[in-house]
Structure 1
């Protein structure tokens, strides 16, 4: 927004006052008159020069003109520039976010701006051969990036220029796409393409405007088929929702399944190592017994027999033996520890 300029010094009025004062001192004083005149002129010049001091607030810029022609741009701080009628200045807030609504004013639709033709393909896939009509309402947010261009290069940059450029950009984007892109899942791409095309046009115009955001407010299908299009939109939204739920379920199940699989592999590996160790130990034990057996066959055979009987007999209640042998038993109280000892020839 423009900031109201400080009042300029009216030199003609000052000079007329000088003349009236000079007339009073001119007839007497023996030389005092010229001195007074010079003092008054010096004071007037000082006041006029001091009126060129001004302040540029943060977020503002000042465009300076000398004799009506652009000269320079000043940023925030205390500045000085030629006062009028030599110089002039325009102080503008450049970081303010401004808005432009297309196709709507407040809550009132503007159909002359919002009705647009889409680029739907025909049955053979040729784009633009089966167009539809869509009602599009758009919001543009922008600020000033070049104050000189904004003020002096384009007539009404934030009025007709920006509005016409926005409408042209949106119509080109909508006209190059099928209607579903604007109604359903391609809105973000439509906004991006419109913003890029609008910025290119404004830069070609040297408007000094920076487009910050382009947002589709409302997009409506033609009234005759609005219900059918609404059903399509709801179906696509449901599809996207189901896909998102499926993805969430996948992201929840897959890590747990991978964890369970890794745990099963680790358990299997541990079980394998355990069995290998047991088998290796049994094999080593068997080899050790074999070596002892080779050294003393009878004693080793008898020891193996006794060890086997220690494991077998506690589970049985009857003992069968050779009548020609004496079987010595050493039962425990609960008869769970019976150790038969065969004695050859009736001797222990």
Structure 2
């Protein structure tokens, strides 16, 4: 029988397949009962005598067990441990509560937010900038810096992005310091001092911003002119090196000549002083000798005159290699080979000094006179015999 024919279905009349007719709202009690029956079938229970009450008790116990498990998991999720090098900033609904140190801690999950930070880890950042120096030259500087987090609370709460702020502050400090120095200092021996000045200024900026960052070290890895002017800059550096080399050579020459000249001048001064002292001493000695000689002359004038004469003759003969003797009683002059007596005995030895006193001189004179007379007599007899 069709669904819309009379008598089809149940006694309530014809049924409307589209939900029409006299159908009312669903019964909630019946829906809950069906749900309990399905849960009871899943966990081993089933409908029976008193099935309605037993199903409600089982559902309550199950819900309680599920609640206990959920609470346990929630409590377990709140446990966390911090190492010795870690610190944690605790926020409750976004508000700062505390900063905790190493150890085992618990905070309610979802309610509290725990931000862990390693405060001993050394972090690094690099920076490369092109900037102007004090003498209006362009340089390219590569800088590396190392830093640690010394205040976790400020690092998390005071600045939105502390590491970006660190980059900006480093750029500002580097430009400020390089702009106060000349190009040759930035490129050569001034890099260490520039790094120290940048670190000091950068730390002032970070403290003023309250970033909680401590800069431990800054290195100027490389400083060079831009690539476009590298060749010209190399020529300038070479010229400066040549200038420095020539200066060093000139200084070395001056260091060698000046002391020598000073030594020569000092030697001349010492020699002049010695000559002066010697002349003065000789003059004083001669004056003293003359005074003593005058006293002796006053005592015995004849003897003193003869002695002075002999000394004078001795002095003259010692300075001459030839001696002429005037013979008494005539104008004949005899040449004495006394120059042989003044010659040195050997090569390199000093000449012998001729010393004559009055008696020796008189004996020599007498011997010479006798020899002349004999020669004259022999020559006169020879002439007579020839006649």
Match of 1:221 in 2: 226
What's the counterpart of residue 291 of structure 2? 287
Aligned length: 258
1:272-311 equivalence runs, <5 A? 272-311=276-315
Cα distance change on mapping 1:302 and 1:264 into 2, 3 Å: same
8 Å CA contact 2:177–2:197 kept in 1: the answer is yes
Q: In structure 1, how many angstroms separate the alpha carbons of the residues matched to 2:254 and 2:99? A: 64
Task: Name the residue aligned to 2:316.
Answer: 312
**2:171 maps to what in 1?**
167
Offset at residue 217 of structure 1 (A): 0.1
State the shift of 1:62 in Å: 6.0
Q: Using the TM superposition, give the Cα deviation of residue 101 of structure 1 relative to its aligned residue in structure 2, in angstroms.
A: 2.4
**Alpha-carbon distance change, 183 to 90 in structure 1, aligned in 2, over 3 angstroms:** closer
Report if the CA contact (8 A) 1:150-1:209 is conserved: no
1:193 to partner: Cα distance = 4.4
**Could you tell me how far 1:318 is from its partner in structure 2?**
2.8
In 1, the alpha carbon distance for the partners of 2:236 and 2:313 equals 84
**Match runs of 1:130-209 below 5 Å:** 134-144=138-148, 146=150, 151=155, 157=162, 159-176=163-180, 182-183=186-187, 190-191=194-195, 193-206=197-210, 207-209=212-214
Distance in 2 separating the partners of 1:160 and 1:181: 29
Corresponding residue for residue 120 of structure 2: 93
Aligned equivalents of 1:277, 1:155: Cα separation in 2: 98
Q: Which runs of 5 or more residues in structure 2 are unaligned?
A: 1-67, 74-78, 92-96, 108-113, 331-336, 343-353, 366-387
Alpha carbons of 1:188 and 1:263: their partners in 2 closer, same or farther (altered >3 Å)? farther
Q: Look up the match of 2:105.
A: 84
In structure 2, the CA distance between the partners of 1:332 and 1:239, relative to structure 1 (3 Å rule), is closer
- For the residue of structure 1 that corresponds to 2:141, the secondary structure is strand
Shift of 1:192: 5.2
Question: What is the TM-score of this pair, normalised by structure 1?
Answer: 0.54
CA RMSD of aligned residues (A): 4.7
Per-residue CA distance 1:122-164 (angstroms, 9 max, x = gap) = xxxxxxxxx66x351322344549455785565665x323322
Match of 2:127 among 99, 102, 114: 102
Evaluate the alpha carbon distance shift between residue 310 and residue 174 of structure 1 in structure 2; reply closer, same or farther with a 3 A threshold: same
Secondary structure in structure 2 of the residue aligned to 1:136:
strand
Task: Tell me, in whole angstroms, the C-alpha distance in 1 between the residues paired with 2:231 and 2:307.
Answer: 95
* 1:327-342 equivalences in 2 (<5 Å): 335-336=341-342, 337=354, 339=356, 341=358
Query: Residue by residue, what CA displacement relative to the aligned partner does 1:60-84 show, whole Å, maximum 9, x if unpaired?
Result: x665768852367xxxxxxxx5521
- Is contact 2:169–2:206 with CA below 8 Å preserved after alignment? yes
Q: Does the CA contact (< 8 Å) of 1:140 and 1:214 recur in 2?
A: yes
TM-score, with length taken from structure 2:
0.50
Gaps of 5+ in 1: 1-11, 18-47, 73-80, 104-113, 121-130, 326-330
Deviations along 1:201-222, one digit per CA (max 9) or x if unpaired, are 2343344423534425031236
In 1, distance between residues paired with 2:149 and 2:300?
106
Q: Deviations over 1:19-54 (max 9, x none)?
A: xxxxxxxxxxxxxxxxxxxxxxxxxxxxx9xx9897
* 8 Å CA contact 1:173, 1:194 repeated in 2: yes
Contact 1:183 1:219 in 2 (8 A): yes
Q: List aligned pairs for 1:315-326, cutoff 5 A.
A: 315-321=320-326, 323=328
Query: In structure 2, how many angstroms separate the alpha carbons of the residues matched to 1:88 and 1:116?
Result: 39
